[in-house]
Amino acid sequence: MLRYLTAGESHGEALIGIIEGMPAHVPLTAADINTHLARRWLGYGRGGRSKIENDKVHIYSGLRFGKTMGSPIAFRLDNAAYTKDRAGWPEKMALEGSGDDIDPVTLPRPGHTDLAGLQKYNFDDIRPVIDRSSARETAMRVACCSVARQLLAQFGIAVGSHVVRLGDVTYDDASDWAARRDALLEDGGARALYEAADESALRMLDDDLTAEAVEHIEATKKAGDSLGGVYEVVVTGVPPGLGSYVHWDRRLDGQLAQAICSIQAQKAAEIGDGVQNAARPGSQVHDPIAPDGDGSLTRRTNHAGGIEGGTSNGMPIIVRGYMKPIPTLIKPLDSVDLATGEAQTTRYERSDITSVPAASTVAEATVAYTIANAFLEKFGGDHLEEIRAHVANGTAQPGSQRP
Ligand SMILES: Cc1cc2nc3c(=O)[nH]c(=O)nc-3n(C[C@H](O)[C@H](O)[C@H](O)COP(=O)(O)O)c2cc1C
């Protein structure tokens, strides 16, 4: 099984990550990871940090001649802001010393972790909370989870995403985006989906909608406000039988909900058409089973999002993530200065107006990690050929619905 750890502060020198449990002989290069790190900076409405950072991963271990060795893979990502900002981060984030000459941050910002984190760890300066709770950490998650994507790719499993709502702007009907999505999946699986989405300034599949959403972001920026939204993550090529119904913590739907909600500012995860399904009669929800020639089975619809009873059923897996609006606003919010006890309004710092397109790429990564782990649980081995043999011997083949 795979596991990974990330370390590092947003304005510290670097982010560090280790992923362990990767089978041997999987092709992997820094370029494979850098591609997804660059995709994480996509999206109209990003703030100043996107102009500073140029994430390129440094790999220290676990690879030899472009292939994994089965040993832990260690990464570093430098924070360019540490040296490029003129804010004195090397002094403010110094590893040693008293910090007596540094002004503490004492005004907690609503919607951020500031107050809860300060109360939890008993700080009198909010800086440590700000720096670790920041979504800068997701850069290292993308690096670690891109390794899982490489493993999945060996078995024709791909993960993609696209944005379906930006604040108020969305499709007239869910069937509009589903039709565009399914045409792309038919063409080239989830990779075709994410490549098409990456062409749009907001990772949307409709040009008019993208233009409308860009205007919405501009108007929101003028009003000093921020936006959230919704995106869809899709996994194609998934065999039936990943996850299980036999125990709560083996349910794939529960694991995917954690994959989404573990990302900063993601406040809901929806499996398939979960939200709409709750309002429909069962006859319009449950996906009829049908023959698909040569003894295989298929489903006429996929309202379940490819998972029944916590177990993949061979249809594409579809998970939606719901992101709250960015909490740093130009418009001040009410707070209390903890040093004086006096009411005060928040001050604006460099920030995104919206990060939904970026969040969708981070969610691709965390979903890929979750699916890779479920795949290894079923077909696992120490090296690629061993896993291939397990897949070949199994009844549940990737991409097939054979009972
Ligand atoms: C990719 C990404 C980028 C983000 N960028 C910002 C940002 O620029 N400014 C900001 O205030 N919040 C940003 N956030 C959101 C905060 O990280 C998040 O709201 C905060 O950590 C509190 O999140 P929580 O409610 O999930 O605890 C971003 C989140 C993600 C996933």
Ligand 1 mean position, distance from CA 176 (Å): 29
Ligand 1 mean position, distance from CA 291 (Å): 46
pLDDT for 30: 98
Rounded CA separation 13/93 (Å) = 9
Rg (the chain; Cα; Å): 22
pLDDT for 403: 39
Contact 328, 226 (CB under 8 A): yes
| Closest protein CA for atom 22 of ligand 1 | 112
Amino acid at 187: D
| Closest protein CA for atom 9 of ligand 1 | 351
Amino acid at 64: R
Q: Which helix (H) or strand (E) holds 257?
A: helix 252-261
| Closest protein CA for atom 26 of ligand 1 | 265
Rounded CA separation 251/351 (Å) = 37
Rounded CA separation 373/2 (Å) = 6
pLDDT for 89: 95
Ligand 1 atom nearest to CA at 49:
8
Q: Where are the domains of the chain?
A: 3-393
In DSSP terms, 24 is beta-bridged to 69, 383
Rounded CA separation 360/144 (Å) = 16
pLDDT for 399: 53
pLDDT tens digit at each of 403 positions of the chain: 999 999 999 999 999 999 999 999 999 999 999 999 999 999 888 888 888 888 999 999 999 999 999 999 999 999 999 998 888 999 999 999 999 999 999 999 999 999 999 999 999 999 999 999 999 999 999 999 999 999 999 999 999 999 999 999 999 999 999 999 999 999 999 999 999 999 999 999 999 999 999 999 999 999 999 999 999 999 999 999 999 999 999 999 999 999 999 999 999 999 999 999 999 999 999 999 999 887 888 899 999 999 999 999 999 999 999 999 999 999 999 999 999 999 999 988 888 899 999 999 999 999 999 999 999 999 999 999 999 999 998 876 555 554 3
Rounded CA separation 248/157 (Å) = 25
- Mention every residue, 6+ apart, whose C-beta is less than 8 A from residue 245: 251, 309, 310, 311
Ligand 1 atom nearest to CA at 109:
11
Ligand 1 mean position, distance from CA 264 (Å): 5
Q: Which residues, judged by CB distance below 6 Å to any ligand atom, belong to the binding site of ligand 1?
A: 47, 112-113, 133-135, 138, 263-265, 326-328, 351-352, 355, 358-359, 362
pLDDT for 398: 55
Ligand 1 atom nearest to CA at 362:
1
Ligand 1 atom nearest to CA at 135:
17
| Closest protein CA for atom 24 of ligand 1 | 265
Tell me how far apart the 2 most distant CA atoms of the chain are, in Å. Answer: 75
In the structure encoding, which two tokens stand for residue 214, read together? 């860009």
CA atoms within 13 Å, Cβ hemisphere of 237? 22
Rounded CA separation 366/260 (Å) = 7
pLDDT for 86: 86
Amino acid at 105: V
Rounded CA separation 166/220 (Å) = 11
3 state DSSP class of 74: strand
Judged on CB neighbours under 10 Å (0-12, 13-18, 19+), 386 is: middle
Ligand 1 mean position, distance from CA 110 (Å): 12
Ligand 1 atom nearest to CA at 265:
26
Rounded CA separation 147/365 (Å) = 9
160 φ/ψ angles, rounded to the nearest 5 degrees? -140, 175
CATH architecture, domain 3-393: 4-Layer Sandwich (3.60)
Rounded CA separation 23/20 (Å) = 9
Rounded CA separation 238/138 (Å) = 25
266 φ/ψ angles, rounded to the nearest 5 degrees? -90, 120
